[in-house]
Structure 1
């Protein structure tokens, strides 16, 4: 909101240049000279710089790689923010952070003991869009922000990326790089990693060691309240009187949603599930094999014209659909235990 600063033009603390650059994110927004601002933000490279334009009389937003006058700055990797003596030539990358989309330069470590490029980005809390030759990356903060936004506010990935682009430039948004394709890919992997971490799969074999009765390799969140043998019920629960055994019973209900539909796609083979039956849905190939063994439901011929019209309407409604609805099984505490797609109307 502050469009001017009375400290602009005064001598910088280094005494070698005037104050011309301030930060949007730092508290107090103390102006610095070009070199001092970059040095002060060596470990906070995501902050936008506001550079004073003396000819036009207002601040202009810059990325950290374009702040230095007459030369460029590249974010150094591999040495915890310090410059690498054998760094590679600066590479222009698209870094997506919580405050927008940055077109910035990155210098990878070139030492003999260096790790791969994707690992250098990962060590800097940046998730690369590819492991071979990364050209774009997403900060862990922006992925966490999207994960909470989509769970709580049902924000789509498309709207979330558009918001980030508008945070970069709310006027000429079309000039901001659009990383939606890379974001869709990274977001799916991030969701998988969050589920793996939450379920404890990376720690000493996961939760199957502590709870051997649960499905193997599952990463779903199971109800902590429902009675479960070996988890939260006494070992002698079978010896309880019949009048008290209801205390250790589980109650489930089925609920369906006929609006969760999906039309068949021609090029759908490359869209592979990363969970592969380890959460709520069954593994796709096993599910299709089961459907092939289920006999077709025989329908009696309708003798009423009204019923014939209803049957015709249902066939037209679900035409060209691969999924005609979803049914879930959940306990009385609101935790979903399993789900299944409907493929023939409400069957």
Structure 2
């Protein structure tokens, strides 16, 4: 930085030089046709050469979203649209009698243009007047995953890329952009789930089929040997499923029927991903309305004692509950649901059931910060509210309830003995706190999702949870590569 500081004026001179014609200040004719007046240059092309209006259009027939500027008589470059210079692109086949071009707004990565082009995502199905390039939708999706920026923030950055003064006449297309990003995200998820190769299409999607499964957790029928159920006692730990349960009250959702409703803007997933299917979930809650939760017999856990009394004024949901993979911090299919009050057993029981409804296991380790209370009368609640043929209700599964390591010191002394990971055989160095780290990755969405419509909110959370699972999947390869090194250093512990 010190060396750079000494040359800062030279760098600044070069920046100023780019605002002018640079090496082409004495150019007398167009460098393409050698005839026309050299008035136009492209901001996005590598070269800063000057061309006439006709040549700049011909050069950009395959790059219609580049930004061009015209050298004006006062001595500066001013923005110009390629459309106004005569650029037209025929959609579909080369037609002998094409329909005349219309005024069409296109959102691209760096600016808002008025152009026509193929391979665009339309904002509406009928007579669209706005579209976005695949490139801008891809970039927004990845940027949103990494930075948690909202669609509005990204859209404004595009608008400012087109005009950073606010004085140019640029059409406001935020609502259209919002709609396109949501549809794009859903389409990408369905595509990656293989729905485009199924004759039944999206409508034939089964519950949880769009969720990315944890490749390291035991998945019956996928990554377990055929005889895993007959494994001897000293090997059963290999096929144990570790679950972590928790609630997050930062992901609250305000009731705002003016913005949207489930009828006007439903979710695209309907139980296909990480959230439970809404109708059966709400039906379960309705069937058990009025049930009061017993007070804590441990310390005064807020999650237990305030479950029925949490302030819900103005809220359609006070937060979300989740059942995650405790070992690898993956979101599980059909394991997320909105909470209407506090962290009620009524809600968390259903999420636990839903996340395991399609599978069967012989041993479970369940981590929950109020496991000492939730496990009390657990089997009684499960047998009363869920199908008798569910593997948990058959009585042939071993379930170990534990309290996460960070939360355990806040419990009474008896819990330190009965619910400790450190004192339990067959759990390795699991800390049970993985679900908390999962919330940390999603909490930055709270401010943008709390005012969304129900469908938009769920779709947003679904896509980010899916991305989190995908990143975890790709990073596992790096973790596996470390195993030989861990074996080398293990004797020196």
Question: If the TM-score is normalised by the length of the shorter chain, which range does it land in?
Answer: 0.7 to 0.9
Unaligned 5+ residue runs, structure 2? Answer: 1-14, 296-304, 345-493
Match of 1:229 in 2: 220
Distance 2:287 2:217 in 1: 33
- Match among 65, 81, 87 for residue 98 of structure 2: 87
Match of 1:183 in 2: 177
CA shift, 1:73, in A, is: 2.8
Greater percentage in strand: 1
Match of 1:291 in 2: 285
User: Bigger relative contact order, structure 1 or 2, given CA contacts below 8 A and separation 6+?
Assistant: 2
- Match among 63, 71, 74 for residue 44 of structure 1: 63
Distance 1:18 1:39 in 2: 15
Match of 2:143 in 1: 149
SS at match of 2:241: coil
Cα 1:275–1:173, aligned 2, differ >3 Å: closer, same or farther?
Answer: farther
Tell me if the contact between 2:311 and 2:341 (Cα under 8 Å) persists in the aligned partners: no
SS at match of 1:75: coil
TM-superposition CA deviations, 1:108-159 (whole Å, max 9, x none): xxxxxxxxxxxxx6xx221000121000000000000110111110010111
Tell me if the contact between 1:129 and 1:185 (Cα under 8 Å) persists in the aligned partners: yes
Match of 2:468 in 1: none
Match of 1:333 in 2: 328
Match of 1:307 in 2: none
Match of 1:76 in 2: 90
CA shift, 1:95, in A, is: 0.3
Match of 2:393 in 1: none
Distance 2:246 2:43 in 1: 49
Tell me if the contact between 2:254 and 2:317 (Cα under 8 Å) persists in the aligned partners: yes
Match of 2:5 in 1: none
RMSD: 2.8
Cα 1:260–1:100, aligned 2, differ >3 Å: closer, same or farther?
Answer: same
TM-superposition CA deviations, 1:84-124 (whole Å, max 9, x none): 432211100110000111123x3xxxxxxxxxxxxxx6xx2
SS at match of 2:104: strand
Distance 2:342 2:168 in 1: 42
CA shift, 1:205, in A, is: 6.3
Distance 1:20 1:265 in 2: 52
Distance 1:148 1:137 in 2: 19
Cα 1:316–1:232, aligned 2, differ >3 Å: closer, same or farther?
Answer: closer
Cα 1:173–1:198, aligned 2, differ >3 Å: closer, same or farther?
Answer: farther
Tell me if the contact between 1:264 and 1:322 (Cα under 8 Å) persists in the aligned partners: yes
- Match among 13, 30, 37 for residue 49 of structure 2: 30
228-237 or 331-340, larger mean C-alpha shift: 228-237
173-182 or 257-266, larger mean C-alpha shift: 173-182
Residue correspondence of structure 1 range 178-327 to structure 2 within 5 A: 178-204=172-198, 216=207, 218-267=209-258, 268=261, 269-298=263-292, 317-327=311-321
Match of 1:7 in 2: 24
131-140 or 5-14, larger mean C-alpha shift: 5-14
Residue correspondences, number: 309
Cα 1:195–1:31, aligned 2, differ >3 Å: closer, same or farther?
Answer: same
- Match among 51, 54, 57 for residue 75 of structure 2: 57
Distance 1:7 1:262 in 2: 57
Calculate the TM-score normalised by the size of structure 1: 0.81
Tell me if the contact between 1:258 and 1:346 (Cα under 8 Å) persists in the aligned partners: no
Greater percentage in helix: 2
Distance 2:167 2:222 in 1: 53
Distance 1:230 1:92 in 2: 55
TM-superposition CA deviations, 1:267-289 (whole Å, max 9, x none): 42312111111111122222222
Distance 1:234 1:297 in 2: 43
SS at match of 1:22: strand
Match of 2:427 in 1: none
Cα 1:165–1:97, aligned 2, differ >3 Å: closer, same or farther?
Answer: same
CA shift, 1:317, in A, is: 2.9
TM-superposition CA deviations, 1:53-91 (whole Å, max 9, x none): 1x111111112112x3xxx33232224xxx643221110
Distance 1:251 1:136 in 2: 48
